[in-house]
C-alpha cells in the first residue's frame, strides 16, 4: 500500500524530492492533484510504500531543511 508523505507545490519540487528518495533507494511515485494551465504548477503528491514511509519522511525533512540552510538546528 502506498502512502502520501508530502505534497509539493509544483512538479519541479516533486521531481527533486523524487531524486533524493530514489538515491536513498526508496520506491517513489508522483501523482498530480491539481493541474494548472502550463502543466508544471499545481500540487503533486509524493507517495512511497507504507513500510518505507518513516525513512522517506526523514529524508524529505532533512532535504528541505538543508535547502533552507537550517540543518544544524534539526540534528
Domains, in order of start, for the chain: 2-74 (3.30.70.1530)
- pLDDT value of residue 66: 76
Rounded average pLDDT per 10-residue block, the chain, 75 residues: 94 92 97 74 93 96 74 45
- pLDDT value of residue 57: 96
Other Cβ atoms less than 10 A from the Cβ of 26: the count is 18
- Angle 67-26-74 (CA atoms, 0-180°, nearest 5)? 35
Residue 71 CA to residue 48 CA, distance in Å, equals 24
Three-state secondary-structure class, residue 49: strand
Closest CA to 35 of 16, 11, 15: 11
- pLDDT value of residue 40: 63
- pLDDT value of residue 59: 94
Provide the whole-model pTM: 0.80
Task: Specify the DSSP element, H or E, that contains 68.
Answer: helix 53-68
Amino acid at each position: 500500500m502506498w502512502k502520501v508523505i508530502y505534497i509539493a507545490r509544483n512538479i519541479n519540487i516533486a521531481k527533486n524530492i523524487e531524486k533524493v528518495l530514489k538515491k536513498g533507494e526508496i520506491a517513489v511515485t508522483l501523482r498530480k492533484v491539481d493541474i494548472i494551465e502550463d502543466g508544471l504548477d499545481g500540487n503533486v503528491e509524493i507517495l512511497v510504500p507504507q513500510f518505507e514511509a518513516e525513512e522517506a519522511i526523514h529524508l524529505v525533512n532533512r532535504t528541505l531543511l538543508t535547502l533552507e540552510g537550517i540543518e544544524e538546528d534539526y540534528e
